[in-house]
């Protein structure tokens, strides 16, 4: 198929001057060739294409290749590039194939990238070169296609061409990303004649992704040289395994840290619930003057949301505005989530209204904040607005709106929304949604209706659903049903201290002190220890954490003295608390 650009008046200056290259039959307009290297605007490129056709230069491989590369560099013009590629009037070489493979892969269409590679393999006149497999394995990694990647691996071995280090690196990286390292990764690594730092990092990343931390650490110690990627990869391995102490020690040893290593460590602390350490690291990061990117500030906002650090969250928000970091849907969601969880629903709503691209997860963040603060009616209004605007709710949306109804006692609205899930929105209720309905009915005192929901659930009932009913039994003083549910929970999770505490509270409601003593003996016999309660509060930008019977806070004497004074002034039915 031939392509002819639509004739149009050229805005490109052309003085008709031609130059001759020795031994070349073609006349090359200098203007067209030079503009191909600098033009990126599609309209200009089309005009250049038209000029190449008029001058017959389109048949010259160099000019054709430059034109193809210009169109293939942008996702908006990749389809036009493919038409140019298919219109070639001469045998295509590896450069043209590599250009299309790489472009499809970079533009988010790895399947088309592999199809172009398959077309290349079928041609007798062209063979993969030292760049081809680098692009092919990258596409296969993005496609998560094990079989196609292994086909390319076999083709690479069969090819007589001797491939360079970067081709082997891409192969090792492919096996690392699909989680099939084992002996394969090391065997491939040993095939590399002159492994560079990228080779070592690919193998290290493979061990980390497959959870082989012992092999990763051994390799890390063997490396002839390490860069910041090596250190950060090992850091990720420790954090993914929950080894905070090892990760912290490694972080302290790092000879150089960049924004990725800082944000990786902070994110690790957040994911493992060590908010105090994460906030401490955030302050160190501020002192070090590390310039943060969008990913880092999103992580920090998640940290502030988790610990309720409003002042720190405001600082991050101010940093975003000061440094002109573009607020997209993901960053808007992080801001809304932070302000909602820190109690500033007014600011969260303002950011939500200002957001231009309202994805479903942004709606969910605000709905979740409204649910947390028992703003059920406002949540229902927002949910209706979401539906009217054409945004389709997902599973998380219904968890948020059902929780909002539950915390606000809106039983009818909650049940109506629950029944609309599959009927109107094609969302199949999960065990989490049933748990929300049980909590909705339980909080309203409809305990036996909640029990009927549990008994008729179309899936296996998990412990969280039973716990929702148990909490409702305690709230409404139903000791008999509470005891039955508590025993079911202990049978399901005999080592979960929270279940014993909940049942103990049920017994306390009915003044069954002997049963509480038996329960404590049962816990002791099973080796179950109660996890100390923990709370935190932010004051003047500093988060203070308190654990039961903990006196480590520098102002513990004054705090406990004030608590005792408060307790002496509070009473219920004449009994001291």
As a whole number of angstroms, the distance between CA 223 and CA 201 comes to 9
Query: Which residues are CB-contacts of 357 (< 8 A; sequence separation ≥ 6)?
Result: 328, 329, 332
* Nearest of 135, 137, 64, 142 to residue 102 by alpha carbon: 135
Structural domains of the chain, with CATH: 430-531 (1.25.40.10), 538-576 (no CATH)
Q: In the prediction, which pLDDT does 535 show?
A: 60
Structure tokens at 565: 């004074």
As a whole number of angstroms, the distance between CA 537 and CA 551 comes to 16
Strand 27-29 with 542-547, pairing: unpaired
How many of the other CB atoms lie within 10 Å of CB of 157?
Answer: 10
Query: Which residues are CB-contacts of 15 (< 8 A; sequence separation ≥ 6)?
Result: 31
Structure tokens at 70: 């210009």
The answer to whether the pTM exceeds 0.95 is no
* Nearest of 142, 155, 210, 211 to residue 180 by alpha carbon: 210
Structure tokens at 160: 């007589």
On whether the CB atoms of residues 236 and 265 are closer than 8 A, the answer is: no
Q: In the prediction, which pLDDT does 24 show?
A: 45
Q: In the prediction, which pLDDT does 412 show?
A: 94
As a whole number of angstroms, the distance between CA 470 and CA 572 comes to 25
Q: In the prediction, which pLDDT does 27 show?
A: 46
Handedness of CA 418, 424, 429, 433 (dihedral sign): negative
Q: In the prediction, which pLDDT does 413 show?
A: 95
Instruction: Dump the DSSP string for 219-286.
Output: HHHH-S---HHHHHHHHHHHHHTT-HHHHHHHHHH-S---HHHHHHHHHHHHHTT-HHHHHHHHHHHH
As a whole number of angstroms, the distance between CA 51 and CA 5 comes to 9
For residue 127, what are the CA distances in angstroms to 41, 95, 100, 396?
A: 32, 10, 15, 49
Splitting the chain (577 residues) into consecutive groups of 10 residues, what average pLDDT does each group show?
Answer: 42 39 45 66 81 81 84 85 88 89 88 90 84 86 80 80 81 80 75 86 88 90 93 93 92 91 88 82 83 86 85 90 89 94 93 91 94 94 94 94 94 94 91 94 93 92 91 90 89 84 86 86 77 57 58 69 71 42
Q: In the prediction, which pLDDT does 536 show?
A: 58
**Residue that has been written with the tokens 């609205």 in this structure:** 413
Q: What are phi and psi of 402, to 5 degrees?
A: -70, -40
Q: In the prediction, which pLDDT does 31 show?
A: 65
């Amino acid at each position: 198929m031939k392509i002819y650009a639509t004739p149009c008046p050229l805005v490109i200056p052309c003085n008709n001057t031609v130059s001759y290259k020795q031994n070349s039959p073609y006349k090359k307009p200098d203007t067209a060739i030079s503009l191909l290297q600098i033009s990126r605007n599609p309209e200009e490129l089309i005009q250049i294409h038209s000029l190449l056709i008029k001058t017959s230069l389109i048949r010259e491989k160099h000019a054709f290749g430059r034109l193809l590369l210009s169109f293939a560099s942008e996702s908006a013009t990749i389809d036009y590039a493919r038409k140019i590629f298919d219109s070639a009037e001469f045998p295509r070489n590896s450069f043209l194939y590599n250009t299309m493979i790489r472009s499809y892969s970079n533009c988010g269409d790895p399947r088309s990238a592999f199809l172009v590679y398959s077309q290349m393999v079928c041609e007798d006149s062209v063979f993969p070169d030292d760049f081809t497999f680098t692009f092919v394995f990258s596409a296969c990694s993005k496609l998560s296609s094990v079989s196609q990647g292994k086909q390319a691996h076999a083709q690479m071995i069969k090819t007589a061409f001797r491939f360079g280090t970067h081709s082997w690196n891409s192969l090792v990286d492919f096996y690392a990303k699909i989680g099939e390292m084992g002996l394969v990764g090391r065997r491939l690594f040993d095939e590399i004649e002159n492994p560079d730092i990228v080779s070592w990092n690919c193998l290290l990343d493979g061990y980390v992704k497959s959870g082989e931390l012992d092999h990763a650490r051994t390799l890390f110690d063997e490396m002839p040289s390490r860069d910041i990627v090596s250190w950060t990869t090992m850091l990720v391995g420790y954090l993914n395994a929950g080894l905070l102490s090892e990760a912290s020690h490694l972080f302290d040893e790092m000879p150089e840290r960049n924004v990725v290593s800082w944000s990786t460590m902070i994110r690790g602390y957040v994911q493992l619930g060590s908010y105090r350490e994460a906030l401490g690291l955030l302050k160190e990061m501020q002192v070090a003057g590390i310039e943060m990117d969008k990913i880092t500030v999103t992580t920090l906002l998640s940290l502030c949301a988790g610990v309720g650090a409003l002042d720190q969250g405001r600082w991050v928000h101010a940093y975003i505005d000061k440094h002109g970091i573009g607020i997209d849907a993901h960053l808007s969601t992080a801001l809304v989530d932070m302000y909602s969880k820190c109690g500033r629903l007014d600011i969260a709503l303002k950011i939500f209204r200002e957001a231009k691209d309202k994805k479903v997860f942004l709606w969910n963040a605000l709905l979740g904040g409204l649910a947390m603060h028992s703003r059920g009616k406002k949540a229902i209004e927002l949910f209706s607005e979401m539906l009217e605007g054409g945004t389709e709710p997902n599973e998380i949306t219904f968890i948020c709106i059902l929780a909002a109804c539950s915390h606000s006692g809106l039983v009818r609205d909650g049940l109506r929304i629950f029944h609309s899930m599959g009927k109107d929105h094609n969302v199949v209720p999960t065990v989490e949604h049933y748990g929300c309905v049980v909590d909705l009915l339980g909080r309203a005192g409809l305990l036996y209706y909640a029990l009927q929901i549990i008994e008729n659930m179309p899936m296996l009932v998990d412990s969280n659903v039973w716990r929702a009913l148990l909490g409702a039994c305690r709230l409404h003083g139903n000791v008999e049903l509470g005891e039955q549910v508590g025993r079911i929970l202990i049978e399901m999770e005999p080592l979960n201290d929270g279940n014993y505490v909940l049942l103990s509270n049920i017994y306390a409601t009915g003044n069954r002190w002997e049963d509480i003593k038996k329960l404590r003996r049962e816990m002791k016999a099973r080796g179950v220890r109660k996890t100390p309660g923990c709370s935190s509060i932010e004051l003047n930008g500093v988060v203070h954490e308190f654990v039961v019977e903990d006196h480590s806070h520098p102002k513990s004497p004054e705090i406990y003295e004030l608590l005792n004074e408060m307790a002496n002034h509070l009473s219920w039915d004449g009994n001291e608390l």
